[in-house]
Amino acid sequence: MDFEKEIAKRRTFGIISHPDAGKTTLTEKLLLFGGAIQEAGAVKSNKIKKSATSDFMEIERQRGISVATSVLAFYYKDKKINILDTPGHKDFAEDTFRTLTAVDSVIVVIDVAKGVEEQTEKLVEVCRMRSIPMIVFINKLDREGKDAFDLMDEVEQKLGLTVTPLSFPIGIGYDFKGIYNIYEKNINLFSGNNKQHVEETVAFDTIDSPELERIIGETAAGELRDHLELVNGVYPEFDTTAYLEGNLQPVFFGSALNNFGVRELLDCFIDIAPPPRPKMAEERLVVAKEQDFSGFVFKIHANMDPKHRDRLAFVKIVSGTFERNTPYLHVRHDKKLKFSSPNAFFAEKKAIVDISYPGDIVGLHDTGNFKIGDTLTSGEQLHYKGIPSFSPEHFRYINNADPMKAKQLNKGIDQLMDEGVAQLFTLELNGRKIIGTVGALQYEVIQYRLEHEYGAKCTYENFPAHKACWIEPDETNPDFQEFKRVKQKFLARDKSGQLVFLADSAFSLQMTQQKYPSVKFYFTSEFE
Ligand code: G4P
């Protein structure tokens, strides 16, 4: 059946890394292979540079780029590949966590010299918790860096993964000669004046062949054999099922900038990476090949043109087909909606599309109906799970700086929160509003956008909170009642009305938990 063939073709994934490890460069090289772009340099980095904190035009420019690169789709060897962009900047980590709910697998990029960095640790942890299949790409082999075995140890220890290399570098930095492809059993030589081109691929039936000496020289050949022997002895054999279950992570080595080791990665990726995976809804598990459409909103992007206040809601299709001009149920509003111009994304363009399949992302024009996490279906009452909010790191009161514009301010705050820019908490005691963010940069973005998109002005005032914890209410529990009475000053409601405790320090949080052991504290908004 065509429908099932279309599903089997889809590979929807995200690339995660610490900033500067080479995510943008790798994305670009993948697009080059897919013929989606013709030259290097076509994909702009959506990195928020440090200077951007005081340069709002820069923020706006970056937002423009990030909508263009939110989804990059291309075809490669009959597979349709959807790359979902994940901002590397830590102030936008929440955005990345949400995008990870829409991927079926990920590629983790690590800089050979820097090894495992902070942002990678956090993001991999989220993937590990969700058992998302991961492939590790160790980048910048053309530079001096850490020893391959040391790096794999570091990956196992810091990221809690079980790895097995599917390619192995021959030399590193100045001595970098090429890659032995364990998966395909051949060697890619790296040469040319400035090592810009892949010279040749030589297939080897056995690594013992004397040909190896001729090609890479005696020392390198001896070393490679030793290394491969060690690989065989130390690492488990690659097993697709273990990878798909999130229990084994294959490792590739290469240099994205030099387009080296990337084809190996891509060829293996389309071979082993999963087609659209089933997704858990509150009601049941939904599989891609079900005929009825269902999907969920994982990202909302506001229009940058203030004259057109519409937004683009990104929907990941989980099951069935999404068709243009067909009414679908917006479950939270219990209302049918029809979309006359759903967007599909190709490389850097978007185009109106008549039909989309599981794994695909459609961009829907929205005038304020959607918020992150909303489910759309053909009619069934389904609620997709798995887009929790985490505790923000920064908390500030937001004040209205122009009393004539209170309505605009509230509307602006509401819509920006629906987009997931930050979290809003309303204090139980006096109704004052607190904005919680992951990074300080968001406050400037919010202030700027409130003014330019909603005509409202705001000021901030520090609120001394350390963490937000979600509390499970239990009015029958005397401990809970006591907790509520004593901690009244620190209690707030999040946007969906859930009770939140804003602890002012790690110490007071710990003390409170000890004092009220039967009160349940959670560190994300989604708990059973
Ligand atoms: P990111 O999206 O993960 O933040 O990283 P990005 O691809 O922008 O790469 C960060 C820097 O690392 C870039 O240099 C890029 O050219 C370089 N790079 C990526 N892959 C390789 C590689 O395989 N080898 C080497 N030697 N460098 C690599 P930049 O100077 O920051 O930017 P640009 O001026 O080159 O654009």
Q: Which pLDDT tens digit goes with each residue over 328-343?
A: 999 999 999 999 999 8
Same domain assignment for residues 354 and 453: no
Same domain assignment for residues 102 and 125: yes
Same domain assignment for residues 8 and 130: yes
Query: Could you tell me if residue 507 is inside a domain?
Result: yes
Question: Distance between CA atoms of 198 and 188, rounded to whole angstroms?
Answer: 7
Q: What is the pLDDT of residue 528?
A: 42
Q: What is the pLDDT of residue 50?
A: 40
Using CB distances shorter than 6 Å, the residues near ligand 1 are: 17, 19-25, 45, 47, 88, 139-140, 142-143, 255-258
Among the listed residues 313, 342, 339, 312, the one whose alpha carbon sits nearest the alpha carbon of residue 326: 339
CB atoms within 10 A of CB 278: 15
Compute, in angstroms, the gap from residue 303 CA to the centroid of ligand 1.
29
Same domain assignment for residues 90 and 204: yes
Q: Whose CA is nearest to atom 10 of ligand 1?
A: 20
Query: Could you tell me if residue 388 is inside a domain?
Result: no
Q: Tell me which residue range forms the domain holding 229.
A: 3-272
Q: Which pLDDT tens digit goes with each residue over 34-55?
A: 776 666 555 555 444 444 334 5
Same domain assignment for residues 111 and 148: yes
Query: Could you tell me if residue 428 is inside a domain?
Result: yes
Q: Which pLDDT tens digit goes with each residue over 89-141?
A: 677 777 788 889 999 999 999 999 999 998 899 889 889 988 999 999 999 99
Query: Could you tell me if residue 387 is inside a domain?
Result: no
| Overall number of domains in the chain | 3
Query: Could you tell me if residue 383 is inside a domain?
Result: no
Average pLDDT over residues 270-280: 95
At residue 241, does pLDDT exceed 80? yes
Q: Whose CA is nearest to atom 28 of ligand 1?
A: 257
CATH number, position 417: 3.30.70.3280
CATH number, position 73: 3.40.50.300
pLDDT classification of 193: cutoffs 50, 70, 90: very low
Q: What is the pLDDT of residue 58?
A: 61
Query: Could you tell me if residue 426 is inside a domain?
Result: yes
For residue 31, give Cα distances in angstroms to 18, 71, 83, 138, 251: 21, 12, 10, 19, 21
Same domain assignment for residues 122 and 258: yes
Q: What is the pLDDT of residue 441?
A: 80
Q: Where are the beta strands (DSSP E) in 204-359?
A: 249-253, 279-280, 285-286, 294-302, 311-319, 322-323, 328-330, 335-337, 343-346, 349-352, 355-356
* End residue of a domain, out of 348, 377, 406: 377
Q: What is the mean pLDDT of the chain?
A: 86
Q: What's the pTM?
A: 0.85
Same domain assignment for residues 262 and 360: no
Q: Which pLDDT tens digit goes with each residue over 470-504?
A: 999 988 999 999 999 999 999 999 988 999 999 99
Strand 186-191 relative to strand 178-181: parallel, antiparallel, unpaired?
A: antiparallel
Same domain assignment for residues 66 and 173: yes
Q: Whose CA is nearest to atom 19 of ligand 1?
A: 22
* End residue of a domain, out of 249, 272, 295: 272
* End residue of a domain, out of 229, 248, 272: 272
Same domain assignment for residues 16 and 163: yes
Same domain assignment for residues 216 and 329: no
CATH number, position 301: 2.40.30.10
Compute, in angstroms, the gap from residue 258 CA to the centroid of ligand 1.
10
Ligand 1 binding pocket mutation candidate from 15, 25, 31, 172 (most atoms within 8 A of CB): 25
Q: What is the pLDDT of residue 6?
A: 95
Q: Whose CA is nearest to atom 30 of ligand 1?
A: 20
